[in-house]
């Protein structure tokens, strides 16, 4: 079983739609949680950290459920520029990041 599991997609949504991605992680000792974004043929970039209380950054909302070992990302009012792969990432006590396979999002006009 992979340490971080995501649905690879692709999710094809029209502009303006709301889309949600989910992720599960296997190690209950995981301490920190993140979403990274990776554009095609580019390097990953930190999108947002995920906190137990949930957090929002503009159109993006991240949630963490430690009991279920589940992380989510909600994107509201999708833009064409949101098309990318969204990587769910966890970290234990070290600085090592453990990435999921990523979920590909394609927003169409």
Partner 1 sequence: DTGVSQDPRHKITKRGQNVTFRCDPISEHNRLYWYRQTLGQGPEFLTYFQNEAQLEKSRLLSDRFSAERPKGSFSTLEIQRTEQGDSAMYLCASSLALALPGEQFFGPGTRLTVL
Q: Whole-number minimum distance, CB 14 to partner 1, in Å? A: 25
Residue 13: both structure tokens together: 């949504």
Per CB under 8 A, does 98 bind partner 1?
yes
Per CB under 8 A, does 34 bind partner 1?
yes
Phi-psi region for residue 69, left (φ > 0), alpha (ψ -120 to 50) or beta? left
81: three-class secondary structure by DSSP: helix
Per CB under 8 A, does 94 bind partner 1?
yes
Residue 98: both structure tokens together: 């453990």
The span from the first CA to the last CA of the chain, in angstroms, equals 37
Look at the block and give the residue holding tokens 């209950």.
28
Residues 54-93 that bind partner 1 (CB under 8 A): 87, 89, 91
> Applying CB under 8 A, which of residues 26, 46, 59, 66 lies at the interface with partner 1?
46
**Which residues would be at the binding site for partner 1 (CB under 8 A)?**
4, 8, 31-34, 42-46, 49, 87, 89, 91, 94-102
């Amino acid at each position: 079983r992979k340490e971080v599991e995501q649905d690879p997609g692709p999710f094809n949504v029209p502009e303006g739609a709301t889309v949600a991605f989910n992720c599960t992680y296997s190690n209950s000792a995981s301490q920190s949680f993140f979403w990274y974004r990776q554009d095609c043929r580019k390097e990953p970039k930190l999108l947002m950290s995920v906190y137990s209380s949930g957090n929002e950054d503009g159109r993006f909302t991240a949630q963490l459920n430690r009991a279920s070992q589940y992380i989510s990302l909600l994107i509201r009012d999708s833009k064409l520029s949101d098309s990318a792969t969204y990587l769910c990432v966890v970290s234990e006590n070290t600085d090592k990041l453990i990435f999921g396979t990523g979920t590909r999002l394609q927003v169409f006009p």
